[in-house]
Amino acid sequence: MTVIAPPQGLTIAEASERTGLTTHTLRYYERDGLMLRGVGRTSSGHRVYTERDLTWVRMLTRLRATGMPIREVKAYAALCRQGDGNETERLALLQNHRARVLAQLAEVTEHLGAIDNKIGIYQSTLERTES
């Protein structure tokens, strides 16, 4: 049907393409209350994504990609939805997350070091055996 993208709006398929999320996931995020506000609709009920929506989805993606659980993303979305006045809470939430991510990065890096040692051992074993 080649839905004509309404002025300044994108279809869910286009939004999917630009965000790298599936249409299923985009609908799921909206259903689950992760969007700032419900995505707009055409007269026939099709979703219309604006650039603001995509910007928000990209933020979501960053939070998710750094391991923030959906319920917490939802909490952050709720704060943003409320409007001005709760910046302190938003900041605290993000700083909390940041601290957890840093701890996680440190832990993974440490474990990776040990795995690297193991890799080194196999490499020297193979060198001694080779030819």
Partner DNA sequence: CTGACGCTTCGAGCGCACTCGAAGTCAAGC
Partner DNA sequence: GCTTGACTTCGAGTGCGCTCGAAGCGTCAG
Six-digit token string for 70: 């959906």
- Is the distance from CB of 63 to CB of 97 less than 8 angstroms? yes
Six-digit token string for 33: 């209350």
**Number of CB atoms found within 10 A of residue 93's CB:** 18
The least CB distance from residue 25 to DNA, in Å, is 4
Six-digit token string for 83: 């409007």
Choosing among its own copies, DNA, none, which partner's interface includes residue 70 (Cβ < 5 to 8 Å by kind)?
DNA
Per CB under 8 A, residues contacting its own copies are: 59, 61-63, 65-67, 87-88, 90-91, 94-95, 97-98, 101-102, 104-105, 107-109, 111-112, 114-116, 118-119, 122-123, 125-126, 129
Q: Is 13 in the site for DNA (CB under 7 A)?
A: yes
Stretch that binds DNA, among 67-75, 78-86, 97-105, 117-125 (CB under 7 A): 67-75
Q: Please state, in angstroms and rounded to a whole number, the distance separating the CA atoms of residues 2 and 8.
A: 16
Choosing among its own copies, DNA, none, which partner's interface includes residue 129 (Cβ < 5 to 8 Å by kind)?
its own copies
Site string for DNA, 87-126 (x = CB under 7 A): ----------------------------------------
- Is the distance from CB of 104 to CB of 97 less than 8 angstroms? no
Collect all residues with Cβ–Cβ distance below 8 Å to 113 and sequence separation of at least 6: none
Gyration radius (Cα) of the chain, Å: 22
Residues contributing to the site for DNA (CB under 7 A):
1-4, 11-14, 22-25, 27-28, 41, 43-47, 64, 69-71
